[in-house]
Structure 1
Amino acid sequence: MRILVLGFTGYLGGHVVEHLRALPGARVFGGGRSPDAVINCAGSTDGDPVTLAEVNSRGPAVLCAALREAAPSARLVHLGSAAEYGPGTPDTRVTEASATRPVTLYCATKLAGTVTVTTSGLDAAVLRVGNPVGPGAPPTGLPGRIAGLLRAAGPDPDAVIRLGDLSACRDFVDVRDVARAAVLAATSPGPLPHVLNIGGGRAVPVRELVRTLARTAGFRGRIEEDGGGSARSGAVSWQCSDIAAAGDSLDWRPSYALEESLAALWAATSVRPEGGRAP
């Protein structure tokens, strides 16, 4: 089976390729081949409006047009975002049928990409991914940024790490579980629902994630909240996905506990080369 992975040098894409290469009979390409399946991991979480629209909205449209021309029978698996749903209601999991209410440009551009894929007429499925965490997490996201701050602080008992508001709840999912879901979706023999939620299935206070990672790191200093934070994260205070459909369609369920994901993230930061990514 020939599988083309777009965005294979990124955080999610790198883990997807690692899982695919362990699959018997799979041939993984980064471009230039006629594929049996395509996994689109390309995307941008930050940047100016033009960058976000170009990567998250126009990119999937160009990809769909190319597949209709060159490989109309190929399975397309596109990685979307649970942020497309917008603000959640506490104690209520969102299903794939829930309304989408994007509140930031990032959310809106990701939703536009999803709509493009699901209305393309291709054999396509969108995986709406929660907040990925685990080895190799980039410093642009909260888990990776916190790990970097903890690594820089070291064991100093007088160290102080100042963060924004940590009261929000998020649905964290291990990046390796996301990769496994993408592989299952790409190789599933039957038709799939247009959209599938991929998450941990529970709402975790961000404060809990930070404290757990600090314990894992052996941090002895203080963590202070100043009430600020990013607009992209602050606009959604509670988020949790219903992942039952992924279990029914892909026989997929998360296999890593949050503590395991954070331990793997912390271990990976210790082997990160200066100025580079963790393997």
Structure 2
Amino acid sequence: MTHRILITGANGFVGSALLQLLERDHGGCKVFALGHGNGQENAIDLLDRNAVERAVQEIQPTALVHLAAVAAPSDARNSPRHAWDVNVTGTMNLAESATRHAPQARFVHVSSSEAYGASFQSVRGPVTETVPLRPMTVYGATKAAADLMIGQMAHDGLRAIRFRPFNHTGPGQSDVYVVSAFARQIAEIVSGKSEPVIRVGNLEAERDFLDVRDVVRAYATAALADLDDGPEHVYNIASGQPRKIRDILDMLIARSGIDIEVRADPEKFRPNDIPSASGDASKARAELNWTPLVPFEQTIADVFGYWQRLCNAR
């Protein structure tokens, strides 16, 4: 069987990494990359039910990897109605279209660790998939709602796999996310474009970080795997090792080789910030044979190198 994989959000950070992986390691697949934005040849608006129906009907995918979302928590906070529309209604349109026009397709839904929310404060250590979804942010709430919706649809026959990835980064990520934000500022300092001062938010928070290349390996596995059907296919994608944001900043500063002053910026502190969040991915390890492979030091080096190249090219 030739796999026909439809990817939404294909021109985003994670989607681009997934496309690279499939092209490199799974060349026999046919990939249909659907992105968004004006002028995109493969653009699709997930809120346009008819357009989504036509795409699924024409492509007849064997798997759908649903990455399209309002993905930055700050964007969701600033435009909550849009976030709910895209992250929940858009997901419903795609899942319903799959049920009608490609009922045998695997539906790979990408949720978020932010769906756990307040559960991080009541559970000691890395959380498993069984802890309650108690989101505290707009983004987390939209992701939790879509996650529960896809779980319910799995009871009605949708061949769903739900992932709850923890923080991930890598070269090419937007600087609205913390590791890229640090790396960009430091690269600009090294290149002489900025004064040797970096402005930061809460450095005491601990987060479970992964390399995006490890994360998309899980998605590709799910899209290609021959798994039994059922609503129990829900997986954390995590390292299980929380890292203090301060330590990540220190690693990046060390790579710069220069002295940099660190200043707190009230604008960068997030509301509803959870002190520590990490995940237990033993279920993904047991059922999908997935485990993180890229050392975090390599991830940091690659993110910093990416921003250095970008600064030098300007």
Structure-2-length-normalised TM-score: 0.82
Aligned-residue offset at 1:153:
1.5
Alignment check: 8 A CA contact 1:41 1:78 kept: yes
Cα deviation for residue 95 of structure 1 reads 0.2
**Which of 177, 188, 197 matches 1:141?**
177
For 1:3-46, what per-residue CA distance to the aligned partner results, in whole angstroms no more than 9, with x for missing partners?
01100000111111111112141111125311000101111122
Q: Which residue of 2 aligns with 1:109?
A: 142
Counterpart contact for 1:150–1:219, Cα < 8 Å: no
**C-alpha separation between the residues in 1 aligned to 2:226 and 2:211?**
25
TM-superposed deviation, 1:158 = 6.5
Q: Higher RCO, 1 or 2 (CA under 8 Å, sep at least 6)?
A: 1
2:107 to 65, 68, 76: 76
Task: Tell me which of 254, 272, 278 is aligned to 2:292.
Answer: 254
Partner of 1:52, secondary structure, is helix
CA positional deviation for 1:115: 1.1
Pick one of 151, 154, 161 that aligns with 1:125: 161
Structure 1 residues 275, 267: CA separation in 2 closer, same or farther (over 3 Å shift)?
A: closer
Partner of 1:176: 213
What's the secondary structure of 2:128's corresponding residue? coil
Q: Secondary structure at the match of 1:161?
A: strand
Query: Where does residue 9 of structure 1 map in the other structure?
Result: 11
Cα 1:198/1:219, change in 2 over 3 Å: farther
Under a length normalisation based on structure 1, what TM-score does the superposition of the two structures give? 0.92
* CA positional deviation for 1:274: 9.0
Tell me: CA distance 1:275–1:49, structure 2 relative to 1, closer, same or farther (3 Å): farther
Superposed, 1:48-63 pairs within 5 Å as 48-63=79-94
Residue deviations 1:27-86 (CA, integer Å, cap 9, x gap): 111253110001011111224011211121111111111111110110011111101101
Tell me how many residue pairs correspond in the alignment: 275
Higher alpha-carbon deviation: 48-57 or 185-194:
185-194
Q: Is the 8 A contact 1:19 1:180 kept in 2?
A: yes
CA contact (8 A) 2:187 2:311 kept: no
Q: 1:237 maps to what in 2?
A: 275
CA distance in 2 between partners of 1:119 and 1:275 (Å): 49
- CA RMSD, 1 decimal: 2.2
Report the alpha carbon displacement of residue 226 of structure 1 after superposing the two structures with TM. 4.6
Structure 2 CA distance for aligned equivalents of residues 158 and 108 of structure 1: 38
Q: What residue in structure 2 maps to residue 28 of structure 1?
A: 31
SS in 1 for 2:310: coil
Instruction: Give how far 1:275 is off.
Output: 10
- Decide whether aligned partners of structure 1 residues 162 and 66 sit closer, same or farther in structure 2, where only a CA change above 3 A counts: same
Deviations 1:152-185 (A, max 9, x none): 2227696111211210000001000011010011
Query: Are the structure 2 counterparts of residues 243 and 273 from structure 1 closer, same or farther at C-alpha, using a change threshold of 3 Å?
Result: same
Rounded Cα–Cα distance in structure 1 between residues aligned with 2:149 and 2:22: 25
Contact 1:155/1:218 (<8 A) preserved: no
Change (3 A) 1:120 1:268: same
What is the DSSP-based 3-state SS (H/G/I as helix, E as strand, rest coil) of the residue aligned with 1:93?
A: coil
Secondary structure, aligned partner of 1:271: helix
Segments of 5+ residues of structure 2 without an aligned counterpart are: 35-54
Q: Which has the larger radius of gyration?
A: 2
